[in-house]
Amino acid sequence: MPTDTEKRRTHCKNGHEFVPENLVKRSNGSRECKRCKAIRYASMTPEQRARYRGDYTVTWTERPPKPLAERVLTNYVLSDTGCWVWTRTRGKTYGYGHVKSGGRMRRVHRVSWELANGPIPAGLQLDHLGRNPACINPAHLEPVTNEENQRRAAAVHTSCRRGHPYTVENTRCGSGSAKRVCRTCVRETQRRYAARRAAALSALTQPHHGER
């Protein structure tokens, strides 16, 4: 079933508006963007399209892998803000795109920058100027130090993902990291854990049926 957060969303993860003519209802009740679905279908091979339609009799033909530059530059959509929004694999936690390069998965915005400008300067990391982690447009990326990147992020994000403000009293630094931790979220998590643990212990102490 779709969560309350999903019900409140007005756009898909690639920025397309959830209007009636752009909506597809899944069997579990959640919504799917028609434009994103069409983009994924257009990028499929004939064999993938046949299997998508339910035809599993088609045999796979071996094809040489596409060059890295082609895989990067053909798997994004252009947003209204000029962002190149990655449409393939993305991380669930931070939303960065990923692509396989050299036998390992890499963040695709770093690969896109290196294709356009060469290696990232040593000691620097790429900052998304538009604060869109799925954007791979080299023009929207800037090499900065970790301290500067954290400072810019802190200036933009004034509350946690659950809406609790990052005040001095409600914020602490994570262990071994410069990232901020919301104290209210931590307390709520601890309360939920304590409630689940108490319920489990209570169930263990209850007499079983048939016992005297």
Q: How many residues belong to the chain?
A: 212
Express as a percent the part of the chain with pLDDT over 70: 91
For residue 40, what pLDDT is reported?
85
pLDDT confidence tier of residue 174, bands split at 50, 70 and 90: low
pLDDT confidence tier of residue 5, bands split at 50, 70 and 90: low
pLDDT, one tens digit per residue, over 17-68 is: 888 888 888 888 788 888 888 888 888 888 888 888 888 787 767 677 889 9
What's the CATH class of domain 65-156? alpha beta
The three-state DSSP-derived secondary structure of the chain is CCCHHHHHCCECCCCCECCHHHEEECCCCCEEEHHHHHHHHHCCCHHHHHHHCCCCCCCCCCCCCCCHHHHHHCCEEECCCCCEEECCCECCCCCCEEEEECCEEEEHHHHHHHHHHCCCCCCCEEEECCCCCCECCHHHEEEECHHHHHHHHHHHCCECCCCCECCCCCEEECCCCCCEEEHHHHHHHHHHHHHHHHHHHHHHHCCCCCCC
For residue 132, what pLDDT is reported?
92
**Segment (H or E) for 109:** helix 108-117
For residues 50 and 135, what is the distance between their CA atoms, to the nearest angstrom? 31
pLDDT at residue 205 is higher than 90? no
pLDDT, one tens digit per residue, over 65-112 is: 889 999 999 999 999 999 999 999 998 878 899 999 888 999 999 999
For residue 17, what pLDDT is reported?
87
Specify the higher pLDDT residue, 161 or 148. Answer: 148
Specify the higher pLDDT residue, 145 or 210. Answer: 145
The domain limits of the chain are 1-63, 65-156, 158-207
For residue 13, what pLDDT is reported?
81
pLDDT, one tens digit per residue, over 125-149 is: 999 999 899 999 999 999 999 999 9
